[in-house]
Amino acid sequence: MTEFYAVTLVATALVLLAAFSSLIAFRFGAPLLLLFLGIGLAAGVDGLGIDFSNFPFAYVVGSLALAVILFDSGYGTSLQSFRLSAAPALTMATVGVLLTTGIFGVAAHLLLGLDYLQALLLGAIVGSTDAAAVFFLLRIGGINIRDRVRSSLEVESGTNDPMAIFLTVALVELIAKGGGTDGFGLDILMLFIEQMGIGLAFGLLGGMIIVFILKRMQVERGLAPIFMLALALMIFSFTGMMEGSGFLAVYVAGIYAGSRKLPSSITISRFQDGMTWLAQIIMFLVLGLLATPSQFLAILLPAGVLALFLIFIARPLAIWLCLLPFDFTQRETGFIAWVGLRGAVSILLGILPIVGNLPDGHIFFNTAFIVVMISLVIQGWTIKPLAKRLGLIIPPRIGAIDKVELDLPGTANHELLAYRVVKGSPVLRGERIPRWAMPSLVIRDGKSMRYQYAGRLRENDHVYLFIAPSYSRLLDRLFATEAAVADDDTEFFGTFAISPATQVKNLDDAYGPLSVSESERGKTVAELITQRVGGRADYADRVRLNTIVLIVRDIDENGHIASVGVSLEPVAPATTLPIFLNVRELAHALRDYLRAKRKASDAGSTGEK
């Protein structure tokens, strides 16, 4: 019994240490998932001496954690974003993984001396990007880029895991049976279609079941997120039992459930965030404990070269080929190629050759671990500087907001929002709160009062308002600080602005010939943009019309385009290899980043003196 308490104490201490390490990551910009892995390594057999080598158990724990992460990833992906990016993202998630596997496999064969099947297996293990790493860096890391680019990366990272898992399992079974490359044929293709088809079907069905239960049953608010998570894991496990892709199913179920208005949605979202953090911590800690760093030395050099080959050649080449049919610029293609972080999924798949009793199975696991560490260090630390260097960061429309969303019981079509009045916000400058917002309460200096008797709002007041969900954007502007626009961003939204009601034919006559059809000439600019971006325009969306680019400058409270910018210097789609572009741009980004750090350090030293 004492041993049980000791194990529990050590495990909870490691989880707490990993949670506290997030403060360091946010302070210094370190890749948080790298810290989780590092803590696991430090506590392992070559560190504090915790001897954990149960590979099958680690695979089960990692798979369950990944299912939780993928469900939350899907739940946080809007249906509009999925539609907008589905074609390029799914192409990268399937064809891109195959291309990366093949290109990387050739290099692995030459550097590690593996036969072609084993080299392809290693390529499949590191062939997919990591959903946890990508979602963390894009959503929590404060990287605000164009919706189509961000959505393509997020949907790719959520949907390419099933492809990599399928390839890895198929290759492990093929090698274990002593098969050759002729084992890859129509049977493998049919098995892939069957697994993905079952995963897609059960994912949609499972999402419908989740929505039905949460809407129709009177579920206690505190139990609603537990119902949802339990149902998601049931979908994952049942689909796997039916020989389908459980990972695809749970991701699709998340997208479907997240696109529906559910009771207690705010409570569910907060619970999902917490469970996703816990899943990431546990998965990375377990995988870190599983590794033996002393074994890395034997393959450190070739594995390091392979990691660099993956980052600078294999991934960019595969992404460039996949995105050729789509309207991405050279800079966007380069950025998408760079955000190909490898993470826990690659290490998790590296366990399969060991579980499958392949000869020298630890080579796959150790190589995958080294590749992941190098990817997180090089790419994880440079994504934001590179996005800034490439000019992909969208200037903020509004400044900081201090807002809390609260759930209302029942099925009311209203939300309760609480804003803290911050310095510089429009409400302090005399802007009135619309009547439809139904302000009800003001808390000032710890005392509550009705809004009608509060008088003019003051800084640090807390204001409670009942509103319809679709109107929160307008209120955000009233309670936000003024957004500072950097000098580099002044031309982001074009040289000049035009009315969204402008006729396309007028632009065609003035700047044409533009790449528009005869029917499009009769539309307004707003109608054309909405049609081109898939049914709903968003802030900073861009539409290229041959010699000009139309840019959405603003959206009104009803979701309609309020202002459009025109750029007369459009960037052409990517047509040349992005391989060396990444290296050059990364070097520039690193140089600028280090200079900024040095200046900040010098300024701090001067201040201390």
In a domain, 383, yes or no: yes
Helix or strand holding residue 404 (H, E): strand 403-406
Q: How far is CA 109 from CA 81, 121, 347, 354, 508, in A?
A: 39, 11, 20, 19, 54
43 and 112 belong to one structural domain: yes
List, for residues 236-285, the tens digit of each pLDDT value. Answer: 999 999 989 999 999 999 999 998 888 777 788 889 888 988 998 899 89
Residue of higher predicted confidence among 226 and 434: 226
Q: List the CATH number of the domain containing 542.
A: 3.30.465.10
Question: CATH number, domain at 448?
Answer: 3.30.70.1450
For residue 593, pLDDT beyond 90 = no
Q: Which of 449, 479, 509 is the last residue of a domain?
A: 479
Same domain flag for 439 and 525: no
Same domain, 344 and 465: no
Structural domain count of the chain:
3
CA distance 250 to 73: 10
- Has residue 587 been placed in a domain? no
Least confident window among 70-74, 249-253, 307-311, 412-416:
412-416
Position 604 in a domain: no
**Is the residue at 595 inside a domain?**
no
Average pLDDT, the chain: 83
Q: Residue 609 — pLDDT band, cuts 50, 70, 90? A: very low
The crossing angle, in degrees rounded to 10, of helices 147-176 and 246-258 is 160
Q: Do 431 and 560 share a domain, yes or no?
A: no
**Pair 501, 446 in one domain:** no
Q: Which of 457, 479, 501 is the last residue of a domain?
A: 479
**Which of 22-36, 51-65, 74-88, 296-310 has the lowest average pLDDT?**
22-36
Question: Are residue 558 and residue 461 in the same domain, yes or no?
Answer: no
The verdict on 277 and 367 lying in the same domain is yes
Residues 223 and 79 in one domain: yes
Same domain for 465 and 342, yes or no, is no
Q: Answer yes or no: is 395 within a domain.
A: no
Q: Which of 479, 504, 525 is the last residue of a domain?
A: 479
Do both 327 and 248 map to the same domain? yes
Q: Is 481 exposed, middle or buried (0-12, 13-18, 19+ CB in 10 A)?
A: middle
Residue numbers of the domain that contains 130: 2-389
**Dihedral class, residue 142 (left if φ above 0, else alpha if ψ from -120 to 50, else beta):** left
Residue 419 predicted with pLDDT over 80: yes
Residue 90 lies in a domain: yes
At residue 63, the pLDDT reads 93
Task: Specify if 191 maps to a domain.
Answer: yes
Q: Are 253 and 319 within one domain?
A: yes
SS3 label, residue 562: strand
CA-derived radius of gyration, the chain: 26
Q: Over 50: is that where the pLDDT of 583 sits?
A: no
pLDDT at residue 428 above 50?
yes
The contacts of residue 23 (CB under 8 Å, 6+ apart) are none
> Could you tell me the CA-to-CA distances from 183 to 117, 171, 189, 350, 538 in Å, in that order?
10, 9, 11, 21, 47
Q: Is the pLDDT of residue 570 over 60?
A: no
How many whole angstroms separate alpha carbon 314 and alpha carbon 337? 9
Q: Is the pLDDT of residue 119 over 90?
A: yes
Q: Are 275 and 51 in contact (CB under 8 A)?
A: no
Mean pLDDT value across residues 585-609? 57
202: tokens are 């059960």
Phi/psi of residue 552, nearest 5 degrees: -75, 115
Same domain, 81 and 222: yes
| Residue 473: pLDDT over 60 | yes
In a domain, residue 574? The reply is no
Give the confidence band of 305 by pLDDT, cuts at 50, 70, 90. very high
pLDDT at 470: 60
Least reliable range by pLDDT among 43-47, 452-456, 555-559, 567-571: 567-571
